[in-house]
Amino acid sequence: MMPAEPTRVAVLFGGDSPEREVSLSSGRALCSALEVAGFLVEPLEADSPRRMLEMTGRSEADVFFIALHGSWGEDGRLQAALDLMGKVFTGSGATACALAMDKRASKALFAAAGVPTPRAVCLFSGDRASGEAEGKAADALKRWGRIVIKPSGCGSTVGVTIVSSPAEVEEALSLAFSFDSAVLVEEYIPGREITVTVWEERGETSLLPVIQIEPRQGFYDYQAKYTPGQTEYLCPAPLAPVERESVGGAAVAAHRSLGCRVFSRVDMRLTEEGHPYVLEVNTVPGMTATSLVPKSAAAMGWGFDELARRIVRSSMELRSAGTGPLTRR
C-alpha cells in the first residue's frame, strides 16, 4: 500500500496594505514552520488581488493558509473569492472577516451580544470635508476625558493616536483619515492591555493562555508590536481567577458574535476593577517572531510548527464536516 501523500499547503502573503511588511514576515515564518510540520508548502506572494487570485486559481494545494493582513486579504474579499472557487482556506469565512475588520460593525454586534466595549462615535470623510469631524471628536474628548482616534478598517495599530488634549485632535484625525474614509473616536479605557486567543478544535472552544502587554514606552503601537525588545509580554497574564473568568467569557462572546471560526485573537483592556472591555477581534492575526498568537501557543507547549499544523487540520476538518467558514453560528 502506497503511503499517503503529504498535504499541500499554499501560504498567501504580501498584499499592498500598510501591513505588507508584517504579512511578508508572517508568510515566510509560516512557510518554514509548515515545512517542519511535514507539509508540502507553496509560497504565494502577490501585491494585488488580481495577481493573488490568478495564483490561487492555478494552485493545486489542498488548503490555503491566509497570512495577508489588512485590506482585501483580511476584510473578507479574499475569503469570499476562495470560497466561490471551492478552495479550502484557514480561519474564519468572509462574513466574519468583514465584520471583524470593520470596527464600527464589530462594536454594533458586540453591543447586541452584551459584550463590553468602549463607547465610540464614527466619523466619515463627509464629516471631515464639512469641518464637523473636529467638533465631534472634541465633544467626545470633553465627555470621556481621553480618547483613541483610529481608522475603522486597519490593523496593527496603523494610524492610531491616543488623544488627551484638544490641541491633538486635528493631527490625530488627519493621520487616521489618511488610512481610511471612516474613523472611530473611541473612549480610552485605563488599565492593562491584554489579548486572548480563542481556539476551536474538534468541536470544542477553548482559550490559549492570556497575554498581558507592557510596552517599555508609550502605548502598544506599530513599533512596539514589531520591534523586538520594545515590549514585555507576560504569559500567562497575572490575573485573579475572577478576572480570568470574565476575560475568557468576553473573548468567547466576541468571537462568536462575529461568527469567527477556528481561531481568533481578541484584544481588550482590563480595568483596575477587573472589568474587561473588548477593543477588536483579529481573524488573521500576525504570525511573526514577535506575534501574540505564537506566544500564547508556546505557553501551551506548542512549537510554531505545531500551531500551524493545528490551524491547517482544524480548518480542513471544519470544511469537510460541511460547516465551512462562511457559516455563522
Active site residue: 45, 193, 200, 267, which one?
A: 267
pLDDT of residue 223: 62
Known catalytic residue at 317: no
Catalytic residue chosen out of the listed positions 17, 19, 25, 319: 19
Told to judge if 282 belongs to the known catalytic residues of this protein, a careful annotator would answer: yes
pLDDT value of position 327? 40
Is 220 annotated in the active site? no
Q: What is the pTM of this model?
A: 0.90
Catalytic residue among 106, 152, 282, 314: 282
Task: Tell me what pLDDT residue 2 has.
Answer: 42
pLDDT of residue 4: 60
Catalytic residue among 14, 226, 277, 319, which?
226
313 is catalytic: no
Q: pLDDT of the chain along its 329 residues, tens only? A: 444 678 999 999 999 888 888 899 999 999 999 999 999 999 999 989 999 999 999 999 999 999 998 888 899 999 999 999 999 999 999 999 999 999 889 999 999 999 999 999 999 988 888 989 999 999 999 999 999 999 887 765 778 999 999 999 999 999 999 988 889 999 999 999 999 999 999 989 999 999 999 987 766 656 655 566 778 999 999 999 999 999 999 999 999 999 999 999 999 999 999 999 999 999 999 998 678 999 999 999 999 999 999 999 999 998 776 655 444 33
Q: Annotated catalytic, 54?
A: no
Is 322 noted as a catalytic residue in this protein?
A: no
Q: Which CATH class is domain 99-116+190-301?
A: alpha beta
267 has catalytic annotation = yes
3 state SS for the chain: CCCCCCCEEEEEEECCCCCHHHHHHHHHHHHHHHHHCCCEEEEEEECCHHHHHHHHHHCCCCEEEECCCCHHHHCCHHHHHHHHCCCCECCCCHHHHHHHHCHHHHHHHHHHHCCCCCCEEEEEHHHHHHCHHHHHHHHHHHHHCCEEEEECCCCCCCCCEEECCHHHHHHHHHHHHCCCCEEEEEECCCCEEEEEEEEEECCEEEECCCEEEEECCCCCCHHHHHCCCCEEEECCCCCCHHHHHHHHHHHHHHHHHCCCCCEEEEEEEECCCCCEEEEEEECCCCCCCCCHHHHHHHHCCCCHHHHHHHHHHHHHHHHHCCCCCCCCC
Catalytic residue (choose from 17, 23, 26, 156): 156
| CATH number, domain 120-187 | 3.30.1490.20
pLDDT of residue 158: 79
Q: Of the listed 20, 265, 269, 309, which one is catalytic?
A: 265
| Known active-site residue 277 | no
Domain ranges of the chain: 99-116+190-301, 120-187
User: Which pLDDT does position 282 carry in this prediction?
Assistant: 95
Active-site choice (74, 186, 280, 291)? 280
pLDDT at 131: 87
Among residues 76, 286, 291, 319, which one is catalytic? 286
